[in-house]
Amino acid sequence: MKRIAVLASGRGSNFQALIDRIADGYIPAECVRLITDNPEAYAVERARAAGILVTVVAYPAYPDKQSYEAALLSAMEGCNADLFVLAGYMRILGETIVRRFSGRMINIHPALLPSFSGLHAQRQAIAYGAKVSGCTVHFVDEGMDTGPIIIQRCVPVFERDDEEMLAGRILVEEHAALPEAVRLFCEDRLMIKGRVVCILPP
């Protein structure tokens, strides 16, 4: 059985979706750790309620990004996890960490990449006049939201939408797409060929 660890900075609703799908047997894995840069994150409460160990690596506790990244790398290596899931983790990871866990780290982004990368993706989609948006689960590489795509799910963008309305519609799909991607990884059904992620049959 695979071991997964989650990195989150905020409310942790995608983290909760993973907890729930592990509990009901959909994802054949054990969640062994939550790592957060925010000791006040609600994700911490979710972890404790589920009996998952929490490691806080708070950015302000370190003099610079290099020392923070060294502490984060140490925390990640200490998990002995097969897969790291970025579920609302709001810091860009440095190249050392990305390369160390290449092919073993995935992220969820609230847009159909490569469109609308970075922050406020829903706001970007509305401002651009997009007619569809959605979410993307992808492997993490050295760029911002540029790694090979595993799963995408679409939602319509309506003329009356504001950022919050669109975000809520996308979040429903995130809660399905992320567990699906994690399940595929845990079943050894993902193969990266260049930029393309091939999904192997069961």
CATH number of the domain within which 31 lies: 3.40.50.170
Mean pLDDT of residues grouped by 10 in the chain (202 residues)? 97 98 98 98 98 97 96 98 97 95 98 97 98 98 96 98 98 98 98 97 94
pLDDT at site 157: 98
Asked if residue 151 lies in contact with residue 85, where contact means CB atoms within 8 angstroms, the answer is no
Return the CA Rg of the chain: 16
pLDDT at site 169: 98
pLDDT at site 36: 98
CA distance 151 to 153: 7
pLDDT at site 191: 98
Residue type, 20: D
pLDDT at site 86: 98
pLDDT at site 20: 98
Residue 175 is a catalytic residue? no
What is the DSSP pairing of strand 132-139 with strand 105-109? antiparallel
Q: Per the residue annotation, which of 109, 120, 138, 175 is the catalytic one?
A: 109
CA distance 116 to 110: 9
Domain that holds residue 80: 2-199
What is the DSSP pairing of strand 105-109 with strand 83-86? parallel
Per-residue CA distances from 172 to 35, 79, 91, 155, 198 (Å): 24, 29, 23, 10, 24
pTM for the full predicted model: 0.96
Beta bridge partners of 153: 135
CA distance 52 to 70: 23
User: What's the half-sphere exposure (Cβ side, CA atoms, 13 Å) at 161?
Assistant: 25
pLDDT at site 174: 98
State how many domains the chain has: 1
